[in-house]
């Protein structure tokens, strides 16, 4: 369950599992991609308004 802390899930919390590391990296990459896409769309919108 989500209520459990990572220390309770893993016997050695100092070394998170590869799945945790992968999930965290994937979430960060996804959020960065979303932000970048929003910036590109905003840039395109402003660019077309100027023409």
Instruction: Enumerate the domain spans of the chain.
Output: 18-50
Q: How far apart are CA 50 and CA 43, in angstroms?
A: 11
The answer to whether 44 touches 50, Cβ cutoff 8 Å, is no
- Residue 11 pLDDT > 70: no
- Residue 10 pLDDT > 90: no
DSSP labels for the chain?
-TTS-HHHH-S-TTS--HHHHHHHHHHHHHHHHHHHHHHHHHHHHHHHHH-
pLDDT at 49: 82
Q: How far apart are CA 15 and CA 31, in angstroms?
A: 24
Task: Please state the pTM of the whole predicted model.
Answer: 0.52
pLDDT at 12: 55
């Amino acid at each position: 369950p989500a209520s459990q802390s990572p220390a309770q899930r893993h016997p050695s919390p100092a070394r998170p599992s590869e799945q945790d590391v992968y999930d965290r990296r994937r979430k960060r990459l996804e959020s960065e991609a979303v932000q970048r896409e929003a910036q590109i769309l905003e840039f395109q919108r402003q660019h077309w308004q100027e023409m």
